[in-house]
Structure 1
Amino acid sequence: METLANLESFIRSAEHGSFSEAARWLSLTPAAVSRNVAMLERNLGVRLFHRSTRKLTLTEAGESFRLAISDSLSGIQAAIAGIAGDGGEPAGVLKLSLAPTFGVAHILPLLPGFLERYPRIKPEWHFENRQVDLIAEGYDVAIGGGFDLSPTVVARTLAPAHVIAVASPGYMADKTPPREPADLQAFRGIVMRSLQSGRVRHWTMRDVTGREAPVRLQESFVVNDPSAMRGAALLGMGVAMLATADVLADLENGALVRLAPRWYSDAGAISMYFPSRTLLPAKTRAFIDWVVNAFEAEKLAERFAGSLDLRSSRSG
Structure 2
Amino acid sequence: MEPLNYLESFIQAAETGSFSAAARRLGLTPAAVSKNVARLEASLGLRLFQRSTRSLTLTSGGERFLHQIGGAFATVQDAIVNAAADEGQPSGVLKVGMALAFGREYVLPMLDGFLERYPAVLPDWHFDNRAVDLIGDGFDAAIGGGIELTQGVVARELARAHVVAAASPAYVAQRRMPEHPSELAEFDSIVRRSAGTGRAKVWTLRHENGDEALAAGRPRIIFDDPEAMAYAAMRGLGVALLPMPHAARWLKSGALVRLLPGWRGDAGPVSVYYPSKKLLPAKTRVFVDHVVEHFRKPEMVALLDSRNY
TM-score by length of 1: 0.70
1:155 maps to 155
SS in 1 for 2:95: strand
Partner Cα separation in structure 2 for residue 91 and residue 284 of structure 1 = 10
Q: Taking structure 1 as reference, are residues 104 and 77 closer, same or farther at Cα in structure 2, changes over 3 Å only?
A: closer
For 2:292, the aligned partner's letter is V
Please give the per-residue CA displacement for 1:33-61, whole angstroms capped at 9, x wherever unaligned: xxxxxxxxxxx9x9xxxxxxxxxxxxxx9
Partner Cα separation in structure 2 for residue 217 and residue 245 of structure 1 = 22
1:181 maps to 181
For 2:141, the aligned partner's letter is V
For 1:184, the aligned partner's letter is L
Greater mean deviation of Cα atoms: 251-260 or 142-151: 142-151
| Pair 1:287-2:287 in alignment | yes
For 1:122, the aligned partner's letter is L
Partner Cα separation in structure 2 for residue 219 and residue 205 of structure 1 = 18
Q: CA deviation at 1:178?
A: 1.3
Q: Taking structure 1 as reference, are residues 213 and 77 closer, same or farther at Cα in structure 2, changes over 3 Å only?
A: closer
| Pair 1:230-2:230 in alignment | yes
For 1:254, the aligned partner's letter is G
Q: Which runs of structure 1 show a deviation greater than 6 angstroms over 4 or more consecutive aligned residues?
A: 76-79
| Pair 1:259-2:259 in alignment | yes
Q: Taking structure 1 as reference, are residues 80 and 154 closer, same or farther at Cα in structure 2, changes over 3 Å only?
A: closer
TM-score by length of 2: 0.71
Please give the per-residue CA displacement for 1:245-300, whole angstroms capped at 9, x wherever unaligned: 11111111111111001101111111111102531111111111111111122443
Instruction: Please tell me whether the aligned partners of residues 158 and 301 of structure 1 are also in contact (alpha carbons under 8 angstroms).
Output: no
Instruction: Please tell me whether the aligned partners of residues 168 and 234 of structure 1 are also in contact (alpha carbons under 8 angstroms).
Output: yes
Partner Cα separation in structure 2 for residue 120 and residue 188 of structure 1 = 51
SS in 1 for 2:294: helix
Partner Cα separation in structure 2 for residue 281 and residue 152 of structure 1 = 15
2:110 maps to 110
Instruction: Please tell me whether the aligned partners of residues 78 and 280 of structure 2 are also in contact (alpha carbons under 8 angstroms).
Output: no
For 1:203, the aligned partner's letter is W
SS in 2 for 1:131: coil
For 2:258, the aligned partner's letter is R
Instruction: Please tell me whether the aligned partners of residues 165 and 260 of structure 1 are also in contact (alpha carbons under 8 angstroms).
Output: yes
Partner Cα separation in structure 2 for residue 82 and residue 140 of structure 1 = 13
Q: Taking structure 1 as reference, are residues 78 and 260 closer, same or farther at Cα in structure 2, changes over 3 Å only?
A: closer
Partner Cα separation in structure 1 for residue 243 and residue 167 of structure 2 = 13
Q: CA deviation at 1:301?
A: 3.5
Superposed counterparts of 1:1-316, under 5 Å: 84-86=83-85, 87=87, 89-276=89-276, 278-306=278-306, 309-311=307-309
Partner Cα separation in structure 1 for residue 288 and residue 162 of structure 2 = 22
Partner Cα separation in structure 1 for residue 192 and residue 201 of structure 2 = 6
Partner Cα separation in structure 1 for residue 126 and residue 266 of structure 2 = 26
Please give the per-residue CA displacement for 1:161-185, whole angstroms capped at 9, x wherever unaligned: 1111100111111211112111111
Partner Cα separation in structure 1 for residue 106 and residue 162 of structure 2 = 16
Partner Cα separation in structure 1 for residue 106 and residue 298 of structure 2 = 10
1:17 maps to none
Q: Taking structure 1 as reference, are residues 78 and 275 closer, same or farther at Cα in structure 2, changes over 3 Å only?
A: closer
Q: Taking structure 1 as reference, are residues 113 and 258 closer, same or farther at Cα in structure 2, changes over 3 Å only?
A: same
Q: CA deviation at 1:195?
A: 3.8
Please give the per-residue CA displacement for 1:10-68, whole angstroms capped at 9, x wherever unaligned: xxxxxxxxxxxxxxxxxxxxxxxxxxxxxxxxxx9x9xxxxxxxxxxxxxx9xxx9xxx
Instruction: Please tell me whether the aligned partners of residues 154 and 274 of structure 1 are also in contact (alpha carbons under 8 angstroms).
Output: yes
Instruction: Please tell me whether the aligned partners of residues 160 and 301 of structure 1 are also in contact (alpha carbons under 8 angstroms).
Output: no
Partner Cα separation in structure 2 for residue 302 and residue 177 of structure 1 = 25
RMSD in angstroms over aligned alpha carbons? 2.9
Q: Taking structure 1 as reference, are residues 263 and 82 closer, same or farther at Cα in structure 2, changes over 3 Å only?
A: closer
SS in 2 for 1:280: coil
Q: CA deviation at 1:80?
A: 5.6
SS in 2 for 1:134: coil
Q: CA deviation at 1:234?
A: 1.2
Q: Taking structure 1 as reference, are residues 162 and 156 closer, same or farther at Cα in structure 2, changes over 3 Å only?
A: same
Partner Cα separation in structure 2 for residue 154 and residue 209 of structure 1 = 34
SS in 2 for 1:96: strand
Instruction: Please tell me whether the aligned partners of residues 143 and 270 of structure 1 are also in contact (alpha carbons under 8 angstroms).
Output: yes
Query: Equivalent pairs: percent with the same residue?
Result: 47
Partner Cα separation in structure 1 for residue 81 and residue 261 of structure 2 = 56
Instruction: Please tell me whether the aligned partners of residues 155 and 274 of structure 2 are also in contact (alpha carbons under 8 angstroms).
Output: yes
Q: Taking structure 1 as reference, are residues 271 and 85 closer, same or farther at Cα in structure 2, changes over 3 Å only?
A: closer
Instruction: Please tell me whether the aligned partners of residues 82 and 281 of structure 2 are also in contact (alpha carbons under 8 angstroms).
Output: no
Aligned length: 242
Structure 2 gaps of 5+ residues are 8-43, 47-60
Instruction: Please tell me whether the aligned partners of residues 234 and 255 of structure 1 are also in contact (alpha carbons under 8 angstroms).
Output: yes
For 2:241, the aligned partner's letter is M
Partner Cα separation in structure 1 for residue 96 and residue 234 of structure 2 = 29
